[in-house]
Amino acid sequence: MEDLGSKFVQVVVALAIFAAIIGLIMLIVDRAPKSIRDKVTIAGFLAPAAILLIVGMIWPAVQTTLLAFTDRDGNANGIENFVWMFTEPTALITLRNTVLWMALVPFLATGIGLVYAVIIDKARGERTLKALVFMPMAISMVGAGVIWRFMYAYRGPEQEQIGLLNQILVWLGAEPQQFLLDAPGNTFFLIAVMIWIQVGFAMVILSAAIKGIPAEIVEASRLDGASAWQQFKDITIPSIRGALVVVVTTITIITLKVFDIVRTMTAGNYDTSVIANEMYTQAFRANEPGRGAALALVLFLMVLPVVIYNARVLKQQRQIR
């Protein structure tokens, strides 16, 4: 009880000292010129956010960068972790898979979502059709991984199949396939899961952008004899360019950070690992925090150009408006 009482007194004293310091600062600021008071007021409002930014983002980023140049014992090892990343066959497969994800998911998901948005625009039951496609967005990545793991489930040819895709193959007279075990095709089956999730996001954003196209422009193109393809190519695409950029860049960033699907469905085995999964494996499974930090740094550098491009496009659009 005495220890508890002494700690309570220490807390009270600390709070009193803090309140006294704040009061003294306010008194000094109150007597200062107006320009100084305005600057102090602005700094006071920005200070909490700046502190959180430094503590939660900037400092961890600095620590991760420094850790990327150390070995498992914390000793500096130069660029050895990066040499491992670009020479070790397993690491190279990880980088190849990440590039495949980044090249296929954003453009396929956006393309399918755009086509679907155009087809169902002003169609009967549009809301229901949108809800059906958007529904996977409500499922977590882990949940989607579990669902699709059952979809791809494999049993021997003599056994009854529980996976939908293999059951369809059996009905068609073909042999069941080990979709998640055979490389490199298994990576594409994992990519299909991410596309399934992100199509709904792309469809909703692009559908809203399409509805924002002035009806007068569309009607004028029809009167000029433009075909459906010409309207899509010359009116729809240019009009929703900003939305397309946002969708592609957003899905690209999400794809670069993909972890849950790979970890849930294959744990990165069978040549399916990506940078985020390998970062976890090296840092927490293989006891190689330096390699994990190096992978995290490379992942950040891959995301950075996408973010910068997105910011530039949005800035250009604001200037046009």
Give the span between the Cα atoms of 62 and 303, in whole angstroms.
17
Give the span between the Cα atoms of 157 and 177, in whole angstroms.
9
| pLDDT tens per residue across span 162-194 | 888 988 988 988 888 888 988 888 999 999 999
- State the chain's maximal CA–CA distance in angstroms: 90
Q: Which residues contact 86 (CB under 8 A, 6 or more apart)?
A: 92, 95
Predicted model pTM: 0.81
| pLDDT tens per residue across span 264-306 | 999 889 999 999 999 999 988 888 899 999 999 998 888 888 8
